[in-house]
Chain A
Amino acid sequence: MSSTPRPRKLLLRTLRAQLAYAGLVLVAGTFLFYYVLRQLYFTDVDDALVLRREEVMKKLPLVPAPADLALWMQLDRDLEIRPLGAEAPAPERIIGELRYDSLAHELEPYRTLITTVPYQGRPYRLVLRSSLVEDEDLLAAIGLAQAGLLVVLLGGLVLVQQRVARRLWRPFYDTLAQLRRFRLDQRTPVALAASSVQEFGELNEALTELLSKHRRIFLSQKEFTENAAHEMQTPLAVQHTKLELLAQSPDLTEAQARHLDALVAVTQRLARLNRSLLLLARLENQQFATDDTVTLRPVVESIAAQLAEQAEAAGLTIELALTAPAPVRANQTLMEILVSNLLSNAIRHNVAGGTIRVQLTATELVVENTGRPVALPVGQEFARFRKDALSAPGGVGLGLAIEQQVCDSCGLELAYTFEAPNRHRFMVRFS
């Protein structure tokens, strides 16, 4: 949804927007202040020039001779009065101009009043000047004041965000933390604290309702799984026990025994299939807590030892290279199921005189076995009830699907590779 690739905190986002806006207003304000102040200042200076002109016009008749005007001009550098030449008398005007200041040796801004005054019956041009405080100084002063203001304002904003906003948002983060901890299989329903902030109160209410609804669905699913187990397992148990009782008949014939043996075998197979399906259902419903720390080495060692007989019976050698204890965040039962599935598969799908190599490092468990000289079909390695030339007799076709599901629910990665001529390799990565 968001166009930004990296998610940032909401607080940071609002703070950034607020800071940008405040900065913009302050910078614009600096210029605005400068122009308004300058305008006010000009008006002030212009008024003073007009007053001075009136004063000059009052004093002018006191000057005895036109030659004395030069002395006046020498005494007052901001005054200029000369006889109007050929040009026509212009109406009074005030302009801004830059003049070279011989004392400061630089161009200085001036406000200049130009008008025509009568002196001894002749028109004279009167020029009055008033030096302006330097623009740059004014701008700098305003800028400094504004910058100070900016720092105080922005600093204040950050503080407000950190103190007040953080406190305001605390219920949100509390809720978030609780959601993170939430597990469908937890015993108690989730209880989100009521909040004095209306939005958070509503959020918590909605979440509580959603979570409890999901928990109800989950529980009913679990119940269904259990019911399914009961419904299937009980008839199977009856069937099995009856077959066992039948086997006790004193006058059992050999032919009857053969039928009985086959019946026991399929009953066992049905039971096995049912158990596998239930395990898959439970894995898919995430009915296993997967936050125990399971040390894999003893698991592998014990299962390899238990399977040694089967391997021996099939004429296989098992090589173990367990170089790390390999603690994994998972579920003990599931890891035992995974390892026993991997190892029994390696035995079942092997060839006479073949080998099984089990490597355990801190990052992966690798089970490699000799087998048929054909790779498992890509993308279908972990499919259910796959029936092809590769499936061994007796298996229920769910072993690899279970391995995949176990890895999924524990956050482990399961991969399969084939190496010519006949090496099949299953890797479980847990780094």
Chain B
Amino acid sequence: MKVLIVEDEAELAASLVSYLQGEQYRCEVAATFAAAEEKMLLGDYDCILLDLTLPGGDGLELLRQLQARHKADGVIITSSRNALDDRITGLQLGADDYLPKPFHLSELSARIAALVRRRHFNGSNVVLAGPLAVDLLARTVRVAGQPLPLTRSEFDLLVLLLANQRRVVMKSTIAEHLSGDLAEHFDSFEPVYTHVKNLKRKLAEAGAGDCIRTVYGLGYRFELPAA
């Protein structure tokens, strides 16, 4: 999987590369408008992370060029220009998603996974992890072939963790993933603890083992127990 990171802030680009490489993505970075334009023309990417404010031009212009070549659906806009009209324009121009800065790496990783899945595995939207089979489209989970009923939040939580296997997903990321912008009103992670606890219990009862580890109150890590 090839990912193009269009980002002028070198440290941020480095963080993205560092995190995404662990997920078996091959990353390329373009720090200017011109560089991004050239790479987009020459290369073929499964996903493009597009910052809108670039030295040398407006990211939306790049998006227009991609749209003209019917490639805009692989784009996730990662912008600090949180202006509503930019978001709308971006999505109208065919961008797949819009993630305002500052974002969480694990959330971004989940969005990329979802995007890649939508584009490349049309029809078979099932994530397999050990005994787990998660159907993203039908929103159902099977453990060793047996259906496992989950609530909406538990399902979303599981998908987020699966997209970041063997990584620590911080509890603030989970809170935002589950309740979006509303999460910012609360410092209490009570609902996160509850959902994680319930999901852990359900998975264990279904025979998937203890696959969600707590990392010192910082967050959680999904890891299949060594067989």
Residues of chain A at the chain B interface (Cβ within 8 Å): 222, 226, 229-230, 232-234, 236-242, 244-245, 247-248, 252, 254, 257-258, 260-261, 264-265, 267-268, 271-272, 275, 278, 282, 287-288, 303, 306-307, 309-310, 312-314, 333, 340-341, 344-345, 347-348, 393-395, 399
Contact = CB atoms under 8 A, between A and B. Distances in A.
A38 B184 CA distance: 96
Interface in B7-30: 9, 11-12, 15-16, 18-19, 22
Contacts of A237: 9, 12, 80, 101-103
5 contacts: A233-B101, A237-B80, A272-B184, A309-B179, A340-B185
Per CB-CB distance, the 3 closest pairs between chain A and chain B, nearest first, are A233-B80, A344-B185, A257-B216
A340 B186 CA distance: 12
Contact of A229 (B82, B182, B188): B82
A349 to B, nearest CB: 11
Contact of A241 (B16, B80, B187, B217): B16
Nearest to A310: B186
A341 B187 contact: no
Interface stretch (B61-69, B120-128, B141-149, B166-174): B166-174
Contact of B182 (A257, A344, A395): A344
A245 B82 contact: no
A426 to B, nearest CB: 15
A282 B84 CA distance: 11
A133 B93 CA distance: 95
Nearest to B53: A230
Given A248-B167, A348-B185, A394-B186, A261 B217 contact: yes
Size range of the interface on B?
A: 35 or more
B38 interface: no
Contacts of A264: 170, 172, 218
Interface of B: 9, 11-12, 15-16, 18-19, 22, 53, 80-84, 100-106, 153, 167-168, 170, 172-173, 179-182, 184-188, 190-191, 194, 215-219
A261 B22 CA distance: 22
A369 to B, nearest CB: 14
A404 B220 CA distance: 39
Nearest to B83: A226
Nearest to B100: A233
Contacts of A282: 83
A258 B217 CA distance: 8
Task: Summarize A's interface: helix, strand, loop or mixed.
Answer: helix
Contacts of A310: 179, 182, 185-186, 188, 190-191
B81 A241 contact: no
Nearest to B189: A313
B112 to A, nearest CB: 14
Contacts of B217: 257-258, 261
B128 to A, nearest CB: 23
B190 A313 contact: yes
B52 to A, nearest CB: 9
B182 A247 contact: no
Contacts of A240: 102-104
A233 B103 CA distance: 10
Given A261-B217, A348-B186, A306 B179 contact: yes
Contacts of A233: 80, 82, 100-102
Contacts of B103: 237, 240
Contact of A257 (B82, B83, B184, B215): B215
A418 to B, nearest CB: 22
Q: Which of B9, B82, B179 has the most CB of A within 10 A?
A: B82
Contacts of A242: 11, 15
Contacts of A239: 102
A313 B194 contact: yes
Nearest to B80: A233
A238 B16 CA distance: 10
Given A229-B80, A288-B84, A238 B167 contact: no
Given A233-B101, A236-B101, A254 B80 contact: no
Contacts of A348: 185-186
A248 B53 CA distance: 29
Contact of B215 (A252, A303, A344): A252
Nearest to A392: B187
Contacts of A347: 185-186
B192 to A, nearest CB: 10
B82 A344 contact: no
Nearest to B191: A309
B185 A306 contact: no
Given A244-B19, A248-B167, A260 B82 contact: no
Contacts of A278: 82
Contacts of B15: 238, 241-242, 244-245
Contacts of A247: 168, 170, 215, 218-219
Contact of A265 (B100, B153, B187, B215): B187
